[in-house]
Structure 1
Amino acid sequence: MKSKWLAFMLIAVIAIVPGILTWAMNTEVTAKAASVGMATQSWQASFSVSLKKSKITEDNVYVMTEKGKKVPATIALLEDQKTLVVKELVPGSYQLHVKKEAFAQGGLNVASQVIPFTIIETLTSVQSEKELEQYFKNLLKAPRGEIREEEMSQSAKSEDKATANNESTTNNQVEGVEEGDIVVVKDGFIFTAKDQSITVVNAKDPQHLKQAANIKLKESQYISKLALYDNLLIAIGDQYIEKAGTGMVTASFYDISNPNKPKHIRDVGQEGYLKDIRIAKDTLYLIGNMYPNYWVLQQEQKADLKPKTYDSLTGEKFESLPLEKISILPNTMDGTYSLITAIDLKNGAKTTANTKGYLGGSSGLYMSENALYLTTPIYEGNNAIPLEKRAMDMIWMPRAADTQIFKWNIDGTTLNFTGSTEVKGTVLNQYSMDEYKGNLRIFTTEGNTWDEKSTSYNHLFILDEHLKALGTVKNMAPGEKIYSARFMGDKAYVVTFKEVDPLFVIDVANPKKPAVLGELKIPGFSNYLHPLDETHLIGIGYDTEQRYDSYTKRNFTVTTNMKMSLFDVSDFKNPKEQSTVKIGGKGSYSEVQYNPKALFRNKEYNYFGFPVVQYEAGKGDNIVYKGQGAQIYEITADKGITLKGNIMNATNGEPYENWEQVVQRVVYIEDALYTVARNEVKSYQLKDFKPLDTLIIK
């Protein structure tokens, strides 16, 4: 019996070994490299096989021109042993030559590599269909593209700009740059978006609310943003266009001179999905991403991989973006378009839209009145790992990454790309970025807090108008990560967290020498920071507590109730938590913690508020639903935080909140306050929160 078993094993090994040998002999080297790089930056190429540091010599690794002339260049091998960085090249077309002797053999039958690339001084348009097709064919040859992460995301303090009619405004990050929201207010009317419709509520008489109009959009068009400009209501959302066979970001324009009868005047669309919108200096900007199906090139000779656009002013056809409006961003190789459509809103938004497509995806954005910044993470690790496996790795073991930044100067509908750069670490959200006196300030977290083998660090980078480094503060709060940030003129504030909440106060008055002035450590953390005045900050987040795990023999941190703090930073070296309130119990939350648009502000009464869903701790680790609604606080530097309005709807035995009834926004018009849910609007007296009326949205 034993001999038969040995014979069987021998046959199995003989059957398997040829396959192993074939794999070992035929594994190919694949390379990933951007086709375009900027003269102001380094260019790099990554390989699926490691290189030998001792073999990175002028004989084995070098750069040549198109005509075969070797040129001097600085070439370095990164720590991953698979990435070559090339520096100090003037604009022109080149080839990177890597001889097979430079690779670590390891039994692999590798071949020498020749990688063409171009160094440019300014961004240029794609010159031909052949060039565009070749870009995507190069992607098919290279390892699969990186996984993109969606980021959730200051200028000198954002002022609450009162309207002539004393109404709520959107909580925008930058004064003068409108971001839109799901609820907007104008001239006593409330406009609220729900799925494929917009409800117009006449709230001029808060004791008698009326549904003035209901705007029905197309069944496939889901609204995610509303914005106002003069007498224009703009509805922005994602839409699937069946006859075009693709999804599009669509902006629908309505004349609301008569809010009781909104008049549709125009639709503008760009292929892909929405990142966000901005309105600055009479111009609407739609910013999105589009991922073309370039794999069809494996089966077909020709394919139109240009993004499609649509403008009802010019006809009903979906047009492919002309080549002269498509560019390849430097040092990118992921096959995703960043699309930007700019629309002049003057004279009723009746001029042609200008759409530009940039090959190189983006996940974060920040915009000042004069510049747009897009960011994208650059992940570490082996690019040759199959996409599906890396997707799972990203879920279970998120990888460290750096951030690439792209900048455009904006002048109405004109977009001028000015450059790109990279910084260590990743950006939390838009509030981690800010432009001040032409310089970009950006907070990042490098590494992962869960990785015990590698400590995480937090950095501040200050870059000039050309994205050149001016000054940095590095390695703040080792082992922690950034949870919120806010810039206020020549001061910056950042909250990091792992077990306690350090609030750092940073002097950024001298961009070449930023410095940490003070630090405050308290339990919990703030998800969002909002300026009260020049020396006080409001922090909204969670309280936390330490627990002990008997299995791992370690302490761990859990969130408990919501928490709001008032920080006194008048003594920059000794920031203090001046006042604090706890909201609800374990499991309680508010949308404002991850979406600052949900913050209610009223300067006259010093009110700040937000929607709240309340839970409390139950048996074991269970939580018990207690109700939902909104809470309004008076917050002043003298008195601290005082609860003024507890507009809560208690539970009637429901196990959890009803999504249709959850308060989404709180707004005010004159002396009345309104809570807006998906299925109802309620009005209250602003001074004492006495209920006035309820309108059921039909």
Structure 2
Amino acid sequence: MKNRWIAIMLISVLAVLPGIFTFMMAPKAEAKAVNTIMATQSWKASFSKTLKAGKITDENVFVTNVNGQKVTATITLGEDSKTLVVSDLVPGSYKLYVKKQAFVQSELKTASHVIAFTVVEKLETVKSEEELQQYFKAVVANGNSEIELESSTENFTSSEDKASPAADSNNTSTTNNQVDGVEEGDIVVVKNDIIYAVKDQSITVVDASNPKNLKLATTVKLKESKYISKLALYDNILIAIGTEYIEKVGKSMTTATFYDIKNPKNPKFIREVAQEGYLQDIRITNDTLYLIGNMHPNYWMLKEGETLDLKPKTYDSTVSKDYKSLPLEKISILPNTMDGSYSLITAVDMKNGAQTKANTKGYLGGSSGLYMSENALYLTTPIYDGNRGGIAGERVMDMIWMPTPVDTQVFKWDIDGTALNFVGAAEVKGSVLNQYSMDEYKGNFRIVTTEGNMWDEKNVSRNHLFILDKNLKELGSVKDLAPGEKVYSARFMGEKAYVVTFKQVDPLFVIDVENPKKPTVLGQLKIPGYSNYLHPLDETHLIGIGYDTEERYDTYSKRNFTVTTNMKMSLFDVSDFQNPKEQSTVKIGGKGSHSDVQYDPKALFHNNEYNYYGFPVVLYEAGKEDEIVYQGQGAQVYEITAEKGIVLKGNIISKNSGDQYEDWEQLVQRVVYIDDALYTVARNEVKSYQLKDFKALDTLQIK
């Protein structure tokens, strides 16, 4: 029965992956490469067959220019012995020639590979509709994010982080932004004694000027087809970011709707800006809103011979009521990529009431990660290993169950208001966890990655830190941190970097990045558990929020394994960089307890006057065997100082009254403060408390 099940699985896999089966049976070496790179990059060609290191000579492997003449280029063999890296070329059109003799297998049918590529000095816009169509036809023909080249067979002889965001003059909560001067927005924002909160297709506006008498100022209702995901403030403008499906054009749009809130009881519509696709994130800096997202056109319909408009749709109510396709002169193809999706960036000048025309740019090549300083935008995208998922010799079951390792490509733009200037691209080993694994300091870009899969015992995972200069050239790195583990959190603080990795214990690494050409690990601390999020307390102390863990033994596999238990918050003393210490720690709830702050740092509450740090929390306790028992929900606030450590001050928890799980409508989403009052904001209620002692003041029900 077991063999029959495996056979069925194999048949199913081959049915849905016919290209893999054909590729595995192919008797020749297949090649993959992109067709365009920047002059600051190296170009790569990946092959399905192994190359001989000793045969990568000028006779067997060389580059020619547009006139067919050999040119001087640096050609090296990658660590996998299947990738050729070509560098040190000036802008121009080239061909890479790889003779049969360069491969380990001499029985290959292919006499040679001839792969054309182009090196460009700056990013060019798409010149014609035909060029755009050809780009997507190439994506369709190859069925993946990189162009697969059917190399020609030739027998030849050698021939020669300052916007005006949520803060105001009052003593009021602001968003927990990563970079000072770069506003990120949140689901709850506060200004002038007014709380604005997202609720599905509406914005709840609460008058909190009298914490003992909370009032619903108004509810801003939007279309039923529009869902709000984030709010942001600039001066007297409230910006609602959301997604709307536009039936008349058959498209999902990311929208930014602007309201004048000089009178918060009666917000006035100013304008709406939209770009096709889905939101990645927003930023506001230097008086400019940046709306960043991804769009996936229906390019696969080209297989049916249809003529399609593959340009993204945009909308600006100050210009027209129509949804228009982005002009070709606003579209570029990112170098070293062949991706069927767009990265879209819309910039809006917020000065003078945000009335200026929006500037939208489309870049072919999707992105998943984002970091922004006051002067530059960085987008990242994973690069999937071209030698996995269909290379001859790999077992089908391995391809199913073993995750494909990825590297990361970084794209950079210099920003100046609504002007976007593409700088270049770079590739680093491993995948990036989140925005806090990235940072810009004195013009250099720092990034922490994990290479490989920590459960792969044959090829253990490794963790790296890379420092790139303003043109994304590598300056220095720290490689192979904590083999067999992965990054769970990272934080850059000026000339130091802090990295938490985990598999069974939590090593906190302290890395000196003062000299970008020679970053150095200074010390590490190993403790049970791990931190999902690191937050600076001061120059020599860090707050870590995550989980405690315990080790168990599996009698079937005869191996130890690690499970999470309660939430955990730690205060790390890193004043002695060589010997970091866990100065103070608290356990929060029991097994199953959790908080939004563990995956969304915006949920962190901070008050400087009282040294308060807090967050929403849902509490569980361990029950019988692996059962967890719901205890209550609400928020907790701690006083955290270098002198006293972590001290619980406010335990604002609604205890369980017989429910099996938490109530979604009553879950605290954010904790904020205005002057001497603290507020917890849930979907269906806002509660107020005295900030100094957390005495309950009032409750406002929201229907």
So what's the TM-score if we normalise by structure 2? 0.90
Whole-angstrom CA distance in 1 between matches of 2:205 and 2:694: 23
Evaluate the alpha carbon distance shift between residue 394 and residue 377 of structure 1 in structure 2; reply closer, same or farther with a 3 A threshold.
farther
Structure 1 residues 569-578 or 190-199, which shifts more? 569-578
Query: Aligned with 1:212: secondary structure?
Result: strand
Instruction: Tell me the SS of whatever aligns to 1:660.
Output: helix
Cα gap change, 1:107 to 1:622, in 2 (>3 Å): farther
Say yes or no: does 1:453 pair with 2:470: no
Picking from 272, 283, 288, the partner of 2:288 is 283
Q: 1:50: how far off?
A: 5.3
Aligned residues: 665
Match of 2:699?
A: 694
**In structure 2, C-alpha distance between the alignment counterparts of 1:391 and 1:175, rounded to whole Å:** 49
State how far apart, in whole Å, the 2-side matches of 1:142 and 1:634 are.
57
Bigger shift: 134-143 or 243-252?
A: 134-143
State the match for 2:125 in structure 1.
Answer: 125
For residue 4 of structure 1, what is the aligned residue in structure 2?
none
Pick aligned residue for 2:582 from 577, 583, 602: 577
Judge which range, 336-345 or 79-88, deviates more.
Answer: 79-88
Match in the other structure for 2:63: 63
> Do 1:193 and 1:224's aligned partners in 2 also have CA atoms closer than 8 Å?
yes
- Does residue 653 of the first structure (1) align with residue 658 of the second (2)? yes
Where 2:308 maps in the other structure, the secondary structure is coil
In structure 1, the partner of 2:5 is none
- What is the distance in 2 between the residues matched to 1:329 and 1:464? 20
Q: Is the 8 A contact 1:25 1:107 kept in 2?
A: no
Letter in 2 for 1:405: V
Shift of 1:506: 1.6
**Aligned partners of 2:234 and 2:244: how far apart in 1?**
23
Q: Please give the residue correspondences for 1:427-506 in structure 2 after superposition, counting only pairs within 5 Å.
A: 427-506=432-511
> Which region of structure 1 is more displaced relative to structure 2, 655-664 or 41-50?
41-50
Task: State the 1:521 CA deviation.
Answer: 1.2
Supply the distance in 1 between the matched residues of 2:600 and 2:432 (Cα, whole angstroms).
Answer: 16
1:344-402 per-residue CA deviation (whole Å, 9 max, x = no partner) reads: 0011111111011111111101100001111111122536649xx99998984322221
- C-alpha separation in 2, matches of 1:516 and 1:54: 36
Q: How does 1:342-381 map to 2 (within 5 A)?
A: 342-381=347-386
Residue matched to 1:144: 144
Q: Which residue of 610, 617, 622 corresponds with 1:612? A: 617
- SS of the residue corresponding to residue 467 of structure 2 reads strand
Matches within 5 A, 1:130-529: 130-145=130-145, 163-300=168-305, 302-382=307-387, 385=390, 396-529=401-534
Residue pairs, 1:657-696, within 5 angstroms: 657-696=662-701
Shift of residue 645, structure 1, vs aligned partner: 0.6
Residues of 1 paired with 2:445 and 2:220: CA distance?
Answer: 40
**Residue 601 (structure 1) aligned to one of 593, 600, 606:** 606
Alpha-carbon distance between aligned partners in 1 of 2:303 and 2:59, rounded to the nearest angstrom: 36
TM-superposed deviation, 1:47:
4.0
Q: Secondary structure at the match of 1:178?
A: coil
Change (3 A) 1:161 1:348: closer
* Counterpart AA for 1:559: T
Contact 2:166 2:190 survives alignment (8 Å): no
Task: Measure how far apart 1:65 and its partner are.
Answer: 2.6
- The answer on whether the counterparts of 2:566 and 2:590 sit within 8 Å (CA) in structure 1 is yes
Residue 611 of structure 2 aligns with an amino acid whose one-letter code is N
What percentage of residue pairs aligned between the two structures are identical? 73
Structure 1 residue 102, shift from structure 2 partner: 5.4
Q: In the aligned structure 2, how far is the partner of 1:26 from the partner of 1:622?
A: 51
Q: Distance in 1 between matches of 2:383 and 2:453?
A: 14
Deviates more, 1:456-465 or 1:101-110: 101-110
C-alpha distance in 2 between matches for 1:136 and 1:313: 32
1:545 aligns with 2:550: yes
CA contact (8 A) 1:146 1:379 kept: no
**Cα offset, 1:141, TM superposition:** 2.7
Alpha-carbon spacing, 1:452–1:75, altered in 2? closer, same or farther (3 Å): same
Residue equivalent to 2:87? 87
Matching residue's letter, 1:217: L
2:315 is matched by which residue type in structure 1? Y
Distance 1:487 1:60 in 2: 46
Give the Cα–Cα distance (whole angstroms) in 2 for the partners of residues 49 and 136 of structure 1.
Answer: 27
Q: Structure 1 residues 586 and 181 mapped into 2: Cα distance closer, same or farther (>3 Å)?
A: same
Using the alignment, how far apart are the partners of 1:218 and 1:394 within structure 2?
45
Deviations 1:82-129 (A, max 9, x none): 433222211011233445665677877557544332101111111222
**Cα displacement (A) at 1:434:** 1.0
2: CA distance between counterparts of 1:467 and 1:76? 20
Conserved in 1, the CA contact under 8 Å of 2:34 and 2:146? Answer: no
Whether 1:38 and 2:38 are equivalent positions in the alignment is yes
Deviation at 1:72, TM superposition (A): 3.0
Matching residue of 2:73: 73
Distance 2:261 2:344 in 1: 28
Match of 1:565 among 550, 554, 570: 570
Task: Give the match's secondary structure for 1:356.
Answer: strand
CA contact (8 A) 1:24 1:107 kept: no
Change (3 A) 1:686 1:120: same
Q: Deviations over 1:49-102 (max 9, x none)?
A: 555656655455433333333333333343445433222211011233445665
- AA of the residue aligned to 1:364: G
Larger mean Cα displacement after TM superposition, 56-65 or 301-310: 56-65
CA distance in 2, matches of 1:548, 1:22: 43
Q: Could you tell me how far apart the structure 2 residues matched to 1:196 and 1:677 are?
A: 15
Secondary structure of 1:313's partner? coil
Paired residues of 2:389 and 2:404 also in contact (CA < 8 A): no
State whether residues 347 and 417 of structure 2, in contact with CA within 8 Å, keep that contact through their aligned partners in structure 1: yes
Mark the CA change 1:25 to 1:549 in structure 2 (over 3 Å): closer, same or farther.
closer
Would the aligned equivalents of 2:166 and 2:233 in 1 still touch at CA under 8 Å? no
Inter-CA distance 162–390: structure 2 relative to 1 (3 Å threshold): farther
The Cα offsets for residues 199-224 of structure 1, whole Å up to 9 and x where unpaired, read as 10111111111111111112221111
1:616-642 alpha-carbon deviations (Å, 9 max, x no partner): 001001111111000011111111111
User: Which residue type is aligned with residue 490 of structure 2?
Assistant: A
How far did residue 46 of structure 1 move? 2.8
Q: Once structures 1 and 2 are overlaid, which stretch shifts more, 123-132 or 404-413?
A: 123-132
TM-score (norm 1): 0.90
SS of 2:132's equivalent in the other structure is helix
SS at match of 1:573: coil
Taking a change above 3 Å as real, the CA distance of residues 123 and 248 of structure 1, as seen in their structure-2 partners, is: same
SS, match of residue 177 in structure 1? coil
Q: What is the aligned partner in structure 2 of residue 3 from structure 1?
A: none
1:23 & 1:575 partners in 2: Cα distance?
52
- Paired residues of 1:612 and 1:631 also in contact (CA < 8 A): yes
CA contact (8 A) 2:33 2:146 kept: no
Question: Greater shift after overlay, 227-236 or 129-138?
Answer: 129-138
Residue 12 of structure 1 corresponds to: none
Write the distance in 2 (CA, Å) between the matches of 1:60 and 1:669.
Answer: 72
Gaps of 5+ in 2: 1-20, 148-160
Which piece of structure 1 moves more, 654-663 or 512-521? 512-521
Secondary structure of the 2:130 match is helix
- Aligned residue identity for 1:174: V
Structure 1 SS opposite 2:666: coil
Query: AA paired with 1:536?
Result: H
Which ranges in structure 1 are unaligned for 5 or more consecutive residues? 1-20, 148-154
